[in-house]
Chains A and B, each alone.
Chain A
Amino acid sequence: KQEVTQIPAALSVPEGENLVLNCSFTDSAIYNLQWFRQDPGKGLTSLLLIQSSQREQTSGRLNASLDKSSGRSTLYIAASQPGDSATYLCAVGGNKLVFGAGTILRVKS
């Protein structure tokens, strides 16, 4: 059974810092991996999708990497801003996604 773990559970940083969120999964036979953000009381917003054959994806200040052999993904956020404050979730799978518990990020101005 696939299990997804996210570290740290919470993170508080000053504005402008670069930061890394970590995601690990137990079964390396994944179809793809997605990173989402969730704002309080809202649904999920897709940030990046990495296919199993890819090593990384970039969108603006976000860069996600995937290492299937070690069962890990990282989400790198450059020059963090207060608007980046949210819960960040990673999920693996092709149709039925398995989610981690999330990292609660707070960027202080």
Chain B
Amino acid sequence: GAGVSQSPSNKVTEKGKDVELRCDPISGHTALYWYRQSLGQGLEFLIYFQGNSAPDKSGLPSDRFSAERTGGSVSTLTIQRTQQEDSAVYLCASSLARGHTQYFGPGTRLTVL
């Protein structure tokens, strides 16, 4: 079946612009996660959605970052007023439920000039 998909695969933007990254999880998966992978920091958790519960936003690095999940399916990660330190690969994952295997998408490579 279809895996986790993310779009765009690459995004180049100018400092100060807003960007939106999209994630389509595996159908039927109730949990959705966003992570960031950068050279200096490795893989870091950003935010977690589980069903209709309030998301766990404890990993978001600043209030410029936000995410939503509409209809319990597609999720959008928004970064406002992008900074050069936001340059990284943003990975989305989904799982059947909490504690189950997380399946990752191919990522979106964000470059902020």
Contact call A43/B101, Cβ cutoff below 8 A? no
Q: Does B25 touch A at the CB level, under 8 Å?
A: no
Give the interface segment out of B14-22, B42-50, B64-72, B78-86.
B42-50
**Chain B residues whose C-beta falls within 8 Å of the C-beta of A62 in the assembled complex:** none
Contact across chains for A43 and B104 when beta carbons are under 8 A apart: yes
- A46 close to B (CB within 8 Å): yes
Does residue A20 face the partner (Cβ distance < 8 Å to B)?
no
Residues of A contacting B101 with CB < 8 Å? 34, 46, 49
Residue on B with the closest CB to A52? B99
User: Which chain B residue lies CB-closest to A94?
Assistant: B99
A99 CB contacts on chain B under 8 angstroms: 42-44
Establish whether residues B33 and A96, one from each chain, have CB atoms under 8 Å apart when the complex forms. yes
Minimal Cβ-Cβ distance residue in B for A89: B43
Cα–Cα, bound, A101→B42 (Å): 6
User: What sequence of 0s and 1s flags, for each residue 17-56 of chain A, a beta carbon within 8 Å of any chain B beta carbon?
Assistant: 0000000000000011010100000111110010100000
Q: Quick one: given A95-B50, A95-B99, A98-B45, are A44 and B33 in contact (CB under 8 Å)?
A: no
Taking a contact as CB atoms under 8 Å apart, the answer to whether B98 and A43 are in contact is: no
> With an 8 A cutoff between CB atoms, is B59 at the interface?
yes
Interface residue? B102 (CB, 8 A)? yes
Q: How far is the CA of A68 from the CA of B9 in the complex (A)?
A: 38
A100 / chain B contacts, CB cutoff of 8 Å: 42
Do the beta carbons of B102 and A96 come within 8 Å of each other?
Answer: no
- Contact A97:B102 (CB < 8 A) given known A43-B91, A43-B107: yes
Q: Which residues of A have CB within 8 Å of B43?
A: 89, 91, 97, 99
Cβ contacts under 8 Å, B105 to chain A: 43
7 closest cross-chain pairs (CB), A and B: A99-B43, A96-B45, A44-B104, A43-B104, A94-B99, A43-B106, A49-B101
Q: What is A's interface to B at a CB cutoff of 8 Å?
A: 31-32, 34, 36, 42-46, 49, 51, 89, 91, 93-102
Instruction: List 8 extra interface pairs beyond A96-B56, A100-B42, CB under 8 A.
Output: A34-B101, A42-B106, A45-B104, A89-B43, A95-B50, A96-B45, A97-B43, A101-B42
